[in-house]
Amino acid sequence: MKAVSLNDPLEIRGIRLEGRIAAAPIATASADPEGGPTPRSLEIYGRLARCGADLVVVEHHAVSRKGRARVAQFRLDSEASEKANRPMAALFREAGCPAFVQINHAGSQIRDEALLAEKYPVSAPSEVKHPACPYPVRPKEMDAEEIHSVIESFAAAGKRAISAGYPGVQVHACHGYLLGQFLSPITNLRRDAYGGKIANRARLLLEIVEALRPAIGGEGVLSVRLGLSDSFPKDPPEGLTLEEGLWVARELAGLGIDHLDISGNLCGYDAPGEAYFADWARAAREAAPKVPVTCTGGIRKLETARRLVESGACDLVGIGRGLQKDPDLIRKWKENLR
């Protein structure tokens, strides 16, 4: 069988990607008070839409005001924010570039001191201080009603993403944000149906995915960015284990997601070395063989990207900081691929 190359097209629920290179989500925190783009956001994303990427995943949008990590974060939490975000989605349509928009709830991982001034109670799976939150935030434990409203917020945000004009939506379930806080036994000490064994810690994510499918309709692409473990591949395991993360990947595939993007959970996204999540991506691909998998993290060279896809480690490679450093990076790679 012929090896797949970076130039080969890929179809994801009827959306044709011309090749296998994706721009990873990079938060610009450049939104206006409505949660939509400012002129600066439109400039950044206008460039990204034409950077040669075969897919762009647009930075995390909060599903509710309480779910923000930063004050200037994009939101999809109201009709007004949906309208405000239409010009962003239009940039990608006009450029002919497929784009999925990421939706997120920060839980206790507040990244911006200014949010603390808003004084709403921060909620999380348990009353545990977030290990990566730089502020003394002690969250309150979410009750059943609040968990239910989080599921509804994700479903509504997904629906708004599609109405705003994006062909796909990506659930942010990594880097220690709310869904990652539920997945990790370090931040989730619950004793109810949402805590304890992995089937319980993953329940919120799985219920959100189940609620999103009807909300976004048959044509909307449903992607999940999953933190497979709390510790990097080369570190001693702690918290959420790789085996547990792969179990979640399998369950997500069973629920019919269209795309899986792999990253770290409480450990974050930045490990030393090159292509540090390659083995995880390969394992996720084996766990969910029918779901296209993106591998992101430390992919700096065309040769590395090519090897990952050709060796079957992943279906797509994601490029984050490399593209920030050199906005022409993908275009240059593509010239070399001709």
Ligand X SMILES: Cc1cc2nc3c(=O)[nH]c(=O)nc-3n(C[C@H](O)[C@H](O)[C@H](O)COP(=O)(O)O)c2cc1C
Binding residues for ligand X restricted to 199-258, rule: CB under 6 A: 225
Q: What span, in angstroms and rounded, lies between the C-alpha atoms of 38 and 55?
A: 22
Binding mask 90-129 for ligand X (x = CB under 6 A): ------------x---------------------------
Q: What span, in angstroms and rounded, lies between the C-alpha atoms of 108 and 106?
A: 6
Look at the block and give the residue holding tokens 């949008």: 61
In angstroms, give the least distance from the CB of 204 to ligand X: 18
Nearer of residues 126 and 174 to ligand X, judged by Cβ = 174
Near ligand X by CB under 6 A: residue from 7, 8, 13, 26? 26
Among 31-39, 199-207, 228-236, 291-299, the segment contacting ligand X (CB under 6 A):
291-299
DSSP 8-state code for residue 227:
E
* Of 114, 119, 244, 115, residue with least CA distance to 173: 244
Residue 37 near ligand X by CB under 6 A: no
Cα 137–204–169 angle (5° rounding)?
95
Residue 321 near ligand X by CB under 6 A: yes
Residue 130 near ligand X by CB under 6 A: no
Look at the block and give the residue holding tokens 């206790």: 108
**Binding-site size, ligand X (CB under 6 A):** 19
The residue number with the shortest CB distance to ligand X is 320
Q: Which residues have CB under 8 Å from 229's CB, separation 6+?
A: 237, 239, 240, 241, 242, 244, 245, 264, 265, 267, 280
Among 151-159, 179-187, 279-287, 293-301, the segment contacting ligand X (CB under 6 A):
293-301
Near ligand X by CB under 6 A: residue from 160, 298, 305, 306? 298
- 57, 215, 242, 276, 311 from 282: Cα distances, Å: 21, 30, 12, 12, 9
Residue 322 near ligand X by CB under 6 A: yes
Residue 21's beta-bridge partner residues?
Answer: 317
Nearer of residues 126 and 170 to ligand X, judged by Cβ = 170
Near ligand X by CB under 6 A: residue from 269, 282, 294, 334? 269
Q: What span, in angstroms and rounded, lies between the C-alpha atoms of 276 and 284?
A: 14
For this structure, is 135 an active site residue?
A: no
Q: What span, in angstroms and rounded, lies between the C-alpha atoms of 288 and 290?
A: 6
**Cβ neighbours around 321 below 10 Å, total:** 15
Q: What span, in angstroms and rounded, lies between the C-alpha atoms of 235 and 102?
A: 28
Nearer of residues 190 and 242 to ligand X, judged by Cβ = 242
Nearer of residues 65 and 321 to ligand X, judged by Cβ = 321
Near ligand X by CB under 6 A: residue from 296, 306, 315, 330? 296
In angstroms, give the least distance from the CB of 196 to ligand X: 27
**Cβ neighbours around 25 below 10 Å, total:** 24
**Cβ neighbours around 193 below 10 Å, total:** 12
Residue 297 near ligand X by CB under 6 A: yes
Amino acid at 335: E
Residue 299 near ligand X by CB under 6 A: yes
Nearer of residues 85 and 263 to ligand X, judged by Cβ = 263
Catalytic residue among 120, 135, 166, 177: 177
Near ligand X by CB under 6 A: residue from 17, 24, 51, 103? 24
Site residues (vs ligand X, CB under 6 A): 24-27, 59-60, 102, 172, 225, 263, 269, 296-299, 319-322
Could you give the residue numbers annotated as active site? Answer: 177
